[in-house]
Amino acid sequence: MFYREAGDFKVSYQQDSQTFPIKFDRYRYYFVLVVAFLVIPFFINDYMANALLLPFLIYAIASIGLNILTGYAGQVSLGTGGFMAVGAYAIYKLMTAFPDVNMFILVIVAGLITAVVGVLFGLPSLRIKGFYLAVATLAAQFFLVWLFNRVPWFYNYSASGQISAPEREVFGIIVTGPNASAWATYMFSLIFLTASAIIARNLTRGAVGRSWMAIRDMDIAAEIIGVNPLKAKLTAFAVSSFFVGISGALFFALYLGAVEVGEAFGIQKSFLVLFMVIIGGLGSIFGSFAGAAFLVVLPVALKLVGVDLLGWPTDIVSHLQLVIVGALIILFLVLEPHGLAQLWRVAKEKLRLWPFPY
């Protein structure tokens, strides 16, 4: 009824190539932004922030990062947890070394450091392809976690071997440490997520994104038509690691506060983010959001139903969660390999014809 392009005339190229060509979509997008920036901060409480919103925002950044590498450039990575750890330790070292610098700058620098590390571990991708590469990225995962565990310089020689975020402020508002209020951490992460999504969206539809997709679809053919595989693959690794690093930094500084590296950034985290990307949809920015939301909400919902409603013991519910996540992955790959994003696309197509389908 309202959801159609009829009557929405485009009079410039700019309008023609905008992200949301349908007016309804555009308004929905503005509406979501307004709610996220101007409404939620006033209603947020600690439980909402810590159980749902913060993990969602942070994992969404990580999913966007991995989606660029896996979904757009076709390089499967199982090292996301390791790269998140790089971001976390980078921000920790930066926060303790430069206590007066604005946190925004520090987070971005942490992302850049991760990008450098990502490129380093991305170098083998020029020789190794497909799941050989997936296994090779495991080297990054295990080596980085080991490094942060064993080299005391990274955790400032603290006795416990853990790192914990000191209190820092942005423009006079505390964003890290135990005294940070829920809305401040929420807003800080939200700004990064919004920026990441906009940057990722515009990169992936520009020249760089096209070269990534060409490499993904067929690397040799892409090389023959003039895509430089070295440049395409390494930029994919760099950009992807940049976002993953930012999410790792936020995950540590804002969400967890104190981190034991093997626990927080182990191989399980790599799989979790990969699952978000698969369930959400490979090669879709919206999919990254959907996947992150789904896998953040699922355990909370299961806990509500299983533990609180049915009164099952926690360990059974957590096992059940494994079964459900595993089954969902398989189900998605069998039924809808393009994930939630594809379901959303199909729904939109249906909506355009509604209520008079031919």
Partner 1 sequence: MSDQLIFSIEVFLNGLMAGVLYSLVALGFVLIYKASGIFNYAQGVMALFAAMTLVGIMEGQVPFAGLINATFGTEVRNFGWTVPAFAGIALTVGVMIVLAWGVHQFVMRHLVGQDPIILFMATIGLAYFLEGVADLMWGSEIKTLDIGLPMGLNETIDRVTYEMFGYGFFIDNLDIVASVIAALLVIALVLFAQYTKQGRAMRAVADDHQAALSVGIDLDFIWVMVWSVAGFVALVAGVMWGAKSGVQFSLSLIALKALPVLMLGGFTSIPGAIVGGLIIGVGEKLFEFWVGPLVGGATENWFAYVLALIFLVFRPQGLFGDKIIERV
Least Å from the CB of residue 321 to partner 1: 7
Region near partner 1 per CB under 8 A, out of 91-99, 161-169, 191-199, 268-276: 268-276
* Least Cβ distance, residue 318 to partner 1 (angstroms): 8
Q: Which of 139, 173, 174, 203 binds partner 1 (CB under 8 A)?
A: 139
Q: How far is the CB of 224 from partner 1 (least distance, A)?
A: 7
The reply to whether 278 sits near partner 1 by the rule CB under 8 A is: yes
Cα separation, 78 vs 248, in Å, equals: 15
Taking CB under 8 A as the rule, does residue 321 contact partner 1? yes
Among candidates 89, 82, 96, which has minimal Cα distance to 110? Answer: 89
Tokens in use for 240?
């992807």
The verdict on 239 binding partner 1 (CB under 8 A) reads: no
232 binds partner 1 (CB under 8 A): no
On the CB side of 196, CA atoms within 13 Å amount to 34
Helices (H) and strands (E) in the chain, counts: 17, 4
User: How many CA atoms lie less than 13 Å away from 192 in the CB half-sphere?
Assistant: 34
Among 172, 323, 356, 357, binds partner 1 (CB under 8 A): 323
Question: How far is 96 from 171, CA to CA, in rounded Å?
Answer: 18
Which of 241, 242, 214, 238 lies closest to 228 in space, CA to CA? 214
> Which residue in 35, 105, 151, 305 binds partner 1 (CB under 8 A)?
151
- Which H or E run contains 97? helix 80-97
Q: Do residues 117 and 86 make contact, with C-beta atoms less than 8 angstroms apart?
A: yes
**At which residue do the structure tokens 């393009």 appear?**
338
| Closest separation in Å from C-beta 341 to partner 1 | 16
**One residue of 138, 173, 195, 302 binding partner 1 per CB under 8 A:** 138
Which span (22-30, 158-166, 333-341, 350-358) binds partner 1, by CB under 8 A?
Answer: 333-341
Please identify which residue in 226, 311, 355, 357 interacts with partner 1, judged by CB under 8 A.
Answer: 311
Residue 230 near partner 1 by CB under 8 A: no
Minimum distance from CB of 344 to partner 1 (Å)?
20
